[in-house]
């Protein structure tokens, strides 16, 4: 694929522009040094539009654009369940989880667990999340991003990894969360524009220039099975998307754990000006989620019509970009880079926050200064990216679908994490030992099912493990006396009431999802 001078100019302008804009919006007053709160939580000053855009920018990256388009190529629209039902999880998070977290004025999820239980639980989860973010999330985003750049430009994969890492650091290292969140509205606009442009041009080509509606109709006629939202048991992908169970089973465990208790997601809301502002931002993200099937899945389905013989499904989106005219190609490539670097920046900022606030502060002898905390956070950001660059190809180079790799392996821990946070928030009798038992049970049982019953759908596995881990937590508390814990949260004093606009939006989103699944069942 040949980039014109216009395309190169657009991509270069984006890269330079986003770096300068990030530094501008996160600048400090002259003579005033950044505090830890400024760097890690944007001074708790984020407006709703920045929160909503940043939630989507952090979530939608190479593993969604490349990986989910690849699954669209193989499976079809059913994979969009991950995007559509996430809107419900966001609504629940905004209404029931955020009021509790913002009341506690926390920096990180492990910090909340330390307040509710003790340092042991906090450190276990802190080290766990560092490992997941570096060896699963950062590596997958870097690898799929580098794969896309290689497919489009021919740049060597390792150099692509280094390029993305350096761009992410240049964009976020100095300014912290504010640099990321306040510029993510541009990233999201580019992301949505890029995905819709690919879908539009692909559908127009399929219809021989007679419009996207005719193109979509032709795709449906040629590949009607790609538009099934609920897969039948005889479908080859049933193991990953087991029919109606995606709506009533273990997928909700993944959703609530990811959107409710995942540091690099919740960190945006923790940096909000106020609770209503955070809830508006999360609702904005829920609306944007409804667009994602057209942005990240439909291009993969179109690729199944135009390029039905692709060797690897993850090549679908890069191949579709080859259809774009010059200029639009540059903008769409910039959109892809925007999605990658914004997610990398979000993850590295969360890695640095957890390491600094939960691990470094726990082991340092004397109380560190605010500037010391910021410096430690910055150093951890580039170190984590360097490790991810070195590990990306060995871990992911032979994977057929990186998207399913992420879902499968994070699913080993997700049920236990959800149990821990739900009982921490809403059950006064949960003890430190009971949640540690739940975490260990989640890992051991997940590995047992994965190794002994490899064909068992991982969504079912998460559901089973969640129930058993939850019961183990209950049984442990029962054996310890079943008493209310001193550090338990009194939810009677928390106001869970939301504004009428929030409630109306929640109803609208539920109606849209109901109609969608009814029409495409």
Number of C-alpha atoms within 13 angstroms, CB side, residue 489? 22
User: Phi/psi class of residue 211: alpha, beta or left (left: φ > 0; alpha: ψ in -120 to 50)?
Assistant: left
CB 162 within 8 A of CB 365: no
Q: Which residue carries 């667990």 as its tokens?
A: 113
User: Which residues on neighbouring strands pair with residue 272, listed in sequence order?
Assistant: 46
The pLDDT value given to residue 221: 92
Crossing angle of helices 328-354 and 119-132, rounded to 10°: 150
Q: Of 36, 81, 492, 101, which is closest to residue 279 (Cα–Cα)?
A: 101
Residue 46 has φ and ψ, to the nearest 5°, of -75, 135
CB 249 within 8 A of CB 459: yes
The pLDDT value given to residue 140: 83
pLDDT digits (tens, 9 = 90+) for 410-466: 778 889 999 999 999 999 999 999 999 999 999 999 999 999 998 888 889 999 999
Q: Of 308, 127, 148, which is closest to residue 222 (Cα–Cα)?
A: 308
- Cα gap 450→448, rounded to integer Å: 5
All residue ranges of the chain with pLDDT < 70 are 1, 29-32, 62-63, 398-408
Was domain 5-27+44-402 assigned CATH 1.10.420.10? no
Domain coordinates in residue numbering, the chain = 5-27+44-402, 411-492
Burial letters 151-161, b for 16+ CB under 10 A, else e? bbeeeeeeebb
Q: Of 222, 223, 226, 206, which is closest to residue 214 (Cα–Cα)?
A: 206
The pLDDT value given to residue 282: 95
User: Phi/psi class of residue 44: alpha, beta or left (left: φ > 0; alpha: ψ in -120 to 50)?
Assistant: left
Task: Report the 10 Å Cβ neighbour count for 387.
Answer: 15
The pLDDT value given to residue 398: 62
Q: Which residue carries 């970009």 as its tokens?
A: 321
pLDDT digits (tens, 9 = 90+) for 330-369: 888 888 888 888 888 888 988 999 999 899 988 887 888 8
Residues 6 or more apart whose Cβ sits within 8 Å of residue 411: 254, 446, 458, 461, 462
H-type helices in 30-118, by residue range? 36-41, 48-59, 62-74, 81-84, 86-92, 98-104, 109-116
């Amino acid at each position: 694929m040949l980039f014109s001078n216009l395309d190169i100019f657009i991509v270069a302008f984006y890269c330079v522009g986003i770096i300068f804009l990030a530094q501008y919006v996160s600048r400090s007053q002259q003579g005033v040094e950044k505090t830890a709160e400024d760097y890690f939580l944007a001074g708790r000053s984020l407006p709703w539009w920045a929160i909503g855009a940043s939630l989507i920018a952090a979530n939608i990256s190479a593993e969604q654009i490349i990986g989910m388009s690849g699954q669209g190529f193989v499976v079809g629209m059913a994979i969009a369940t991950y995007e559509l039902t996430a809107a419900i999880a966001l609504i629940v998070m905004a209404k029931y989880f955020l009021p509790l977290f913002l009341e506690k004025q926390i920096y990180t999820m492990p910090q909340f667990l330390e307040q509710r239980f003790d340092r042991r639980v906090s450190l276990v989860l802190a080290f766990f999340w560092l490992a997941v973010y570096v060896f699963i999330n950062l590596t997958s985003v870097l690898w799929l991003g580098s794969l896309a750049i290689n497919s489009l430009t021919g740049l060597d994969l390792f150099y692509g990894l280094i390029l993305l890492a350096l761009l992410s650091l240049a964009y976020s290292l100095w300014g912290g969360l504010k640099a990321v969140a306040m510029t993510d509205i541009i990233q999201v606009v580019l992301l949505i524009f890029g995905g819709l442009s690919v879908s539009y041009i692909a559908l127009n080509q399929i219809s021989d220039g007679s419009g996207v509606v005719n193109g979509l109709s032709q795709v449906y006629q040629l590949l009607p099975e790609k538009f099934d939202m609920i897969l039948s048991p005889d479908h080859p992908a049933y193991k990953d998307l087991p029919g109606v169970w995606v709506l009533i089973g273990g997928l909700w465990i993944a959703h609530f754990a990811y959107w409710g208790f995942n540091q690099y997601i919740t960190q945006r809301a923790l940096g909000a000006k106020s609770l209503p502002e955070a809830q508006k931002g999360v609702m904005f993200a829920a609306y944007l989620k409804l667009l994602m099937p057209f942005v990240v899945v439909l291009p993969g389905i179109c690729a199944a019509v135009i390029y039905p013989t692709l060797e690897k499904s993850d090549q679908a989106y890069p191949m579709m970009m080859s259809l774009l005219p010059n200029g639009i190609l540059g903008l769409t490539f910039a959109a892809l880079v925007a999605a990658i670097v914004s997610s990398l920046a979000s993850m590295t900022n969360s890695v640095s926050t957890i390491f600094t606030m939960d691990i470094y502060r726990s082991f340092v002898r004397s109380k560190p200064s605010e500037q010391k905390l910021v410096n430690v956070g910055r150093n951890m950001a580039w170190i984590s990216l360097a490790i991810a660059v070195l590990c990306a190809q060995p871990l992911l180079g032979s994977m057929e679908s990186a998207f399913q790799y992420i879902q499968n392996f994070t699913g080993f821990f997700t049920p236990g994490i959800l149990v821990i946070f739900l009982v921490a928030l809403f059950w006064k009798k949960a003890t430190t030992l009971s949640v540690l038992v739940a975490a260990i049970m989640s890992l051991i049982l997940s590995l047992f099912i994965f190794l002994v019953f490899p064909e068992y759908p991982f969504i079912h596995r998460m559901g089973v493990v969640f129930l058993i881990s939850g019961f183990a937590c209950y049984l442990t508390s029962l054996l310890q006396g079943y008493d209310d814990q001193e550090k338990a949260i009194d939810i009677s004093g928390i106001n869970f009431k939301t504004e009428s606009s929030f409630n109306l939006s929640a109803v609208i989103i539920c109606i849209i999802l109901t109609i969608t699944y009814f029409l495409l069942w």
